[in-house]
């Protein structure tokens, strides 16, 4: 996560001079995990302990299209590496995604839909061995709203669905809110 954050910061500094219009954002929120077969674990309720932290950098390809690189961490219940049965151990999923965000102008700001692919890494939960680390690809789709406070700053609200290609096919619903800064 530290290396990915460092890469994002270096890319921000390097490309902000070249891009006509770019933005940086920080999002915090909660997550809910669902399983591939549709069964939910009763203990996996919406609560603040299932957290999401994300930072993203985006630049405008066209006035209504933004290409985003998003780095984040989802804390939730994880499954076991064998895929035989869901394990309810707490752990985290780190991800880096390349997303295309199409925005619609509204009277209050803008709304958008986004989607893209990324790399997801599962980190073992507390008290578990290091053999539970998996890395695989995944997809992310969602909707967002941007409520400007000024020309440079805005409040972002976002809902996303993450599909990860591990052996037990976890899915995560995330709801986040944060701030956007135009560079």
CATH number at residue 91: 2.40.160.20
Q: Where are the beta strands (DSSP E) in 65-152?
A: 65-78, 89-106, 109-123, 134-148
Partnered with residue 175 across adjacent β-strands are 30, 159
User: Given this model, what pLDDT does residue 86 score?
Assistant: 52
Domain range for 155 is 2-182
User: Given this model, what pLDDT does residue 122 score?
Assistant: 84
User: Given this model, what pLDDT does residue 20 score?
Assistant: 63
How many structural domains is the chain composed of? 1
pTM of the predicted protein model: 0.77
User: Given this model, what pLDDT does residue 42 score?
Assistant: 47
The tokens of 9 are what?
A: 């910061």
Task: Point out the residues of the chain with pLDDT beneath 50.
Answer: 17, 19, 39-44, 81-82, 85, 127-131
Closest to 135 (Cα-Cα) out of 123, 125, 124, 120: 120
Q: Are 73 and 1 in contact (CB under 8 A)?
A: yes
For 53: left if phi > 0, alpha if psi spans -120 to 50, otherwise beta; the answer is beta
């Amino acid at each position: 996560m530290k290396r990915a954050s460092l890469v994002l910061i270096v890319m921000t500094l390097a490309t902000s001079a070249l891009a006509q219009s770019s933005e940086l954002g920080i999002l915090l929120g909660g997550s809910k995990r669902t399983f591939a077969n549709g069964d939910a674990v009763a203990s996996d309720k919406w609560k603040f302990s299932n957290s999401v932290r994300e930072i993203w950098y985006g630049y405008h390809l066209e006035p209504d299209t933004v290409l985003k690189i998003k780095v984040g961490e989802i804390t939730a219940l994880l499954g076991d590496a064998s895929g035989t049965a869901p394990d309810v151990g707490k752990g985290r999923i780190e991800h880096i995604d390349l997303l295309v965000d199409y925005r619609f102008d509204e009277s209050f700001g803008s709304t958008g839909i986004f989607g893209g692919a990324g790399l997801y890494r599962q980190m073992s939960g507390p008290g578990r061995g290091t053999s539970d680390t998996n890395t695989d690809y995944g997809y992310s789709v969602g909707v967002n709203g941007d409520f400007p406070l000024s020309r440079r700053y805005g409040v972002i609200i976002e809902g996303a669905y993450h599909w990860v290609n591990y052996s037990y096919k976890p899915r995560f619903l995330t709801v986040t809110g944060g701030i956007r800064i135009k560079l």
